[in-house]
Amino acid sequence: MSYQWHSHENAAASAAALADAVADALQAALDKKGGAVLAVSGGRSPIAFFEALSQKDLDWAKIGLTLVDERIVPTDHADSNTGLVRQYLLQNKAAAAHWIPMVEADAREAALAPEAALQTALKHFRQPDALVLGMGGDGHTASLFPQAPQLDKGLDLANDVPLLHTTPVTAPHERISMTLAAILNTPAVFLAIQGEEKKKVFEAAAQGLNKTFPISYVLNQPKVECHVHYAN
């Protein structure tokens, strides 16, 4: 087991505490290296966290923002994580940050073929100093989904390519995702979850490595200590 559990009274308190912790990690990277990269996850649940983080007093002009994973769709698509981050995180003080795309803003059909999209994402990739994961009710994290045909490749610690294309069996859209190795190469790793159902999935995943719950490969690694922020 290699995680720290942070329980919060409600979702707002969890988002605020996570924003504080991520801001501290970014400041530590700025102090050490003069720059920092943060990777975040999409979905609706991070919005309050994004809004809180966007107000932090950081030297945002020296910070790169990117994604842990992205759906291979145009960035103006309703399911685009890029659009979500632009709307809620690249605002306020964080508007000065440098955006590191997975899918480029003008990408159309040819560029959205999975292999072409992956090569574009790899061209832009920078190793994060901090990242924030989410977890689905099926135990997936990033776009490392149980049953996905690329799951073994994504979990292979000998795979030195930091991103891969994945095909979820239980969710729409082809995806680009950070690999487990790239996640574990990140100095500060956070996981945000909410609700009793996800807590039960988390507790099952925390018992040991299990491909049924890909998040287990983050929680049971000695290389990184994952800080888990939970609200009921």
pLDDT digits (tens, 9 = 90+) for 109-145: 555 788 899 999 999 999 999 999 999 999 999 999 9
**Residues 6 or more apart in contact with residue 24 via CB below 8 angstroms:** none
The answer to whether position 112 is within a domain reads yes
pLDDT of the residue at 104 = 84
User: Tokens representing 224?
Assistant: 């990184």
108 close to 87: Cβ distance less than 8 angstroms? no
Entry pTM = 0.94
Q: Output the pLDDT for position 166.
A: 96
Residue 148 banded pLDDT, cuts 50, 70, 90: very high
| Residue 105 belongs to some domain of the structure | yes
Total domain count for the chain? Answer: 1
pLDDT at position 108: 65
CA dist 93 and 205 (Å) reads 36
* CATH number of the domain where residue 48 is located: 3.40.50.1360
- Whether 106 is covered by a domain: the verdict is yes
Residue 224 inside a domain? The answer is no
What domain range is 129 assigned to?
3-174+185-194+202-218
Sheet holding 98-99, edge to edge: 3-8, 226-231, 188-194, 130-133, 36-40, 63-67, 98-99
2-25 pLDDT, tens digit each: 899 999 999 999 999 999 999 999
The answer to whether residue 229 sits within a structural domain is no
| Domain membership flag for residue 27 | yes
pLDDT at 109: 58
* Amino acid at site 172: P
Per-residue pLDDT tens over the stretch 173-222: 999 999 999 999 999 999 999 999 999 999 999 999 999 999 999 999 98
Structural domain includes residue 65:
yes
Q: What is the model's pLDDT at position 101?
A: 94
In-domain check, residue 232: no
| pLDDT tens column, 68-90 | 999 999 888 888 899 999 999 99
